[in-house]
């Protein structure tokens, strides 16, 4: 999985229900044309990264089409989630 660019935004919880901080990542990746996830307009991974008293972790992740933001019906594999978590850990503080 080659990451070409990303955005990160700290989410606000107006209710105060969620403890800690949450960050929404849009991670854009490059795929081979033979990959079943490949789309001409590009593919991304949307991830919510939590930082709280329980540690740091990905609490949600999903593939999406870059052009339309439409969710794709594929789940990330375990090693992909681990790679996303490592990437988020390195980059959430840039926000």
Tens-place pLDDT, residues 22-81: 999 999 999 888 888 888 889 999 999 999 998 999 999 999 999 999 999 999 999 999
Please state the pTM of the whole predicted model.
0.89
The span from the CA of 89 to the CA of 12, in Å, is 19
The span from the CA of 11 to the CA of 15, in Å, is 12
> What per-residue confidence (pLDDT) applies to 94?
57
> What per-residue confidence (pLDDT) applies to 39?
84
Neighbouring residues of 65: CB distance < 8 A, sequence distance ≥ 6:
39, 41, 42, 43, 44, 72
Q: Write the burial class of residue 25 (CB in 10 Å: 0-12 exposed, 13-18 middle, 19+ buried).
A: buried
> What per-residue confidence (pLDDT) applies to 19?
86
The span from the CA of 41 to the CA of 55, in Å, is 35
């Amino acid at each position: 999985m080659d990451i070409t660019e990303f955005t990160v935004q700290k989410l606000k919880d107006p209710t105060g229900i969620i403890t800690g901080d949450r960050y929404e990542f849009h991670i854009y990746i490059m795929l081979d044309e033979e990959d079943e996830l490949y789309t001409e307009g590009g593919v991304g991974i949307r991830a919510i990264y939590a930082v709280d008293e329980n540690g740091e972790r990905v609490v949600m992740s999903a593939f999406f089409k870059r052009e339309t933001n439409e969710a794709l019906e594929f789940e990330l594999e375990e090693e992909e989630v681990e790679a996303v978590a490592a990437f988020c850990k390195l980059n959430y503080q840039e926000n």
